[in-house]
Copies of this chain bind each other. A is one copy, B any other.
Amino acid sequence: MSSHFLHDFLSPKSIAIYGANNTFGTTMGTMLLIRIINSNFKGKIFPIHLKLDTVLGYKAYKTIAEVPEVPDLVIIVLPPKVVPQVFKECGEKGVKKIVLISGGFRELIEDRSNTLTDEIIDISNSYGMRFTGPNCLGVYNSWIYPEDNGRLNTMMWREQSKRSKFSMASQSGTLASQLWLDAEYPDFSVGKVISVGNEANIDLVDFLEYFKDDEETDVIGLYIEEIKRGKQFLQLAKEVTLKKPIVAIYGGGSQAGNRAIKSHTGSIAGNIKIFDAMIKETGIIKIDYIEEFLDICSMLLTPNFPYPKGKRIGIITFAGGPGALIANNAERKGLIVPEFSESLQSKLKSMLPHTASWSNPIDITFDMNIFNLYINFPKILMKSGEIDIIIIYGAMGFQSMISLEQKNNRVSKHIELREDMRDRIDDMDKLVITPTIKNSQKYSVPVIYINPQSYANPWSKKIREHGGIVFQFWDRPVNCLAKICDYAEYRRNIKLKK
């Protein structure tokens, strides 16, 4: 994607920055430059400062004209009124790409005459420059050096240890940067994030275009307050969703939401119904809740995620209550929990204790046969063709169950541990998870594990490392699956039409 004009925004080799100094906690510009340095950006850095000789250890320049080369990217964190002059100086220097962090352009002009914005648009056009913002937070790119873990980071507060093929464009910079502050949840780190701000020059359509063919992007996230080029956006989204899922969360719609947006980006936000109708035909997965946004992206990022072929869900549980609640929520969300055929039921019945249940949900009760829970029952259900999705309640860590035994001396000296359990405990994940993940991909049936021990429990992490999907509780994954089923259906229908 190095030919796309956005390439230099995400992968510049040199950056000049206006607005950073040496005092922590006072200016945005300083915080931003600290992040760039800490992220192991390997390119050149040229701070521009009228008075200082050095900024955070880098030689500072009084003006961009003094910088010994033309930087690939210029970042501006200055009061709005000086920005037109700085834009001109950048243009004269030959700069082509600018990230305009500063806010206070459009938001303040109550009659929306936008003179300051118009001015910088004109300047940038006259010099052939492109810019993101105003009122944005810049970029995050964990793929800037594909071979190692250097980053370009202007916005993330927390270091991202991993990277994924999740790319996001957001009309709220803080939203995009503050969803990833927790090292445990969600269990994926973003790949590329762009804070698009007020979109005076570069907008969502540009970024969709870029992400569409980007090999480091598998799943696209959008936070939308306003769509500027509606027709182009819808057309492009339709093309993208055939190849890659777009997950979008919309900030507009309510009275107060629209009020917030007007002061935030200056946009005129619309009616939620119009928005919904507009994107319904695009295949975009539209989300109302922020955790659902993260959950669904996390699911879709699962390696070789198997899209469900229909909406029939098979439930395997060792507890009646969660089984009933999963079934309730599945039906509430438009999924189907079919009663199994007689032949399937009698097969399951023969493998279960007589207190169990086998009609769907399969409730194994206190049967300790984990090979049935983890491998055999999922496989039987997949092979039956009677379900499209499997949810397994009770994927708990063996280690922590066994460690009970060692905990209390009063008990442990009296206990014998079954040898077959002790021998297998360390390799349990390979024994019970891997075969089911393989089957899941073979039959294209997503399998969701629920481990109430916690989202970040070591056993849950192991399952995720093997390519499984694990949640702490059962409602959120079911909500996600319902939306993913709709998307899968949309894709099937489009393909049928062609």
- A288–B332 touching, CB < 8 Å: yes
- A417–B359 touching, CB < 8 Å: no
- A453–B415 touching, CB < 8 Å: no
A182: nearest residue on chain B (CB-CB)? B454
**A107: interface (CB < 8 Å):** yes
- A37–B257 touching, CB < 8 Å: no
**A254: interface (CB < 8 Å):** yes
Chain A, residues 163-198, CB within 8 Å of chain B (1/0): the string is: 000000011111110110111110000000000000
Q: Which residues of B contact A363 (CB under 8 A)?
A: 260, 263-264
Stretch at the interface among A143-151, A205-213, A322-330, A486-494: A322-330
Chain A, residues 421-440, CB within 8 Å of chain B (1/0): the string is: 10000000000000000000
**A216: interface (CB < 8 Å):** no
**A104: interface (CB < 8 Å):** yes
**A301: interface (CB < 8 Å):** no
- B368–A57 touching, CB < 8 Å: no
Chain A, residues 67-92, CB within 8 Å of chain B (1/0): the string is: 00000000000000000000000000
- A421–B264 touching, CB < 8 Å: no
Stretch at the interface among A3-11, A119-127, A400-408: A400-408
Stretch at the interface among A228-236, A237-245, A371-379, A470-478: A470-478
Docked CA distance A255–B176 (Å): 40
- B365–A103 touching, CB < 8 Å: yes
**A221: interface (CB < 8 Å):** no
- B170–A321 touching, CB < 8 Å: yes
- B26–A418 touching, CB < 8 Å: yes
**A442: interface (CB < 8 Å):** no
Docked CA distance A453–B184 (Å): 10
Of residues 282 through 341 on chain A, the ones whose CB sits less than 8 Å from some CB of chain B are: 288-291, 315, 318-325, 327-332, 337, 339
Chain A, residues 152-172, CB within 8 Å of chain B (1/0): the string is: 000001100000000000111
- A37–B411 touching, CB < 8 Å: yes
Given contacts A254-B328, A256-B330, A257-B324, A415 and B56 within 8 Å (CB-CB): yes
- A413–B182 touching, CB < 8 Å: no
Given contacts A25-B418, A254-B337, A473-B290, A320 and B260 within 8 Å (CB-CB): yes
Q: Which residues of B contact A495 (CB under 8 A)?
A: none
Docked CA distance A261–B255 (Å): 42
Given contacts A23-B416, A415-B56, A418-B26, A264 and B454 within 8 Å (CB-CB): no
Residue from the set A25, A355, A414 with the largest chain B CB neighbour count within 10 Å:
A25
Minimum CB–CB distance for A330 against chain B, Å: 7
Given contacts A182-B453, A327-B254, A405-B24, A354 and B104 within 8 Å (CB-CB): yes
Docked CA distance A25–B34 (Å): 54
> Interface size (A, Cβ < 8 Å)?
112
Q: Which residues of B contact A462 (CB under 8 A)?
A: none
Minimum CB–CB distance for A54 against chain B, Å: 7
Docked CA distance A158–B264 (Å): 46
Partner pick for A418 among B23, B56, B170, B174, CB 8 A cutoff = B23
Q: Which residues of B contact A411 (CB under 8 A)?
A: 34, 37-38, 56-57
Docked CA distance A23–B249 (Å): 53
**A133: interface (CB < 8 Å):** no
Q: Which residues of B contact A173 (CB under 8 A)?
A: 319, 321
Docked CA distance A335–B239 (Å): 38
Minimum CB–CB distance for A142 against chain B, Å: 17
Q: Which residues of B contact A407 (CB under 8 A)?
A: 38
Residue from the set A172, A178, A183 with the largest chain B CB neighbour count within 10 Å:
A178
Q: Which residues of B contact A394 (CB under 8 A)?
A: 178
Minimum CB–CB distance for A282 against chain B, Å: 20
Minimum CB–CB distance for A310 against chain B, Å: 16
Minimum CB–CB distance for A335 against chain B, Å: 10
Partner pick for A355 among B107, B157, B225, B405, CB 8 A cutoff = B107
Chain A contacts to B: CB under 8 angstroms: 22-26, 28, 30, 34, 37-38, 54-57, 103-104, 107-108, 157-158, 170-176, 178-179, 181-185, 223, 225, 249-261, 263-265, 269, 272, 288-291, 315, 318-325, 327-332, 337, 339, 354-357, 359-361, 363, 365-366, 368, 394, 396, 401-402, 404-405, 407-408, 410-411, 413-418, 421, 452-454, 457, 472-476
Q: Which 10 A-B pairs have the closest CB atoms?
A: A172-B321, A264-B320, A175-B321, A174-B319, A256-B337, A263-B357, A256-B327, A251-B324, A182-B454, A254-B331
Extra contacts besides A108-B355, A178-B319, A182-B472 (7): CB < 8 Å: A25-B402, A37-B411, A56-B411, A176-B321, A182-B452, A257-B331, A261-B324
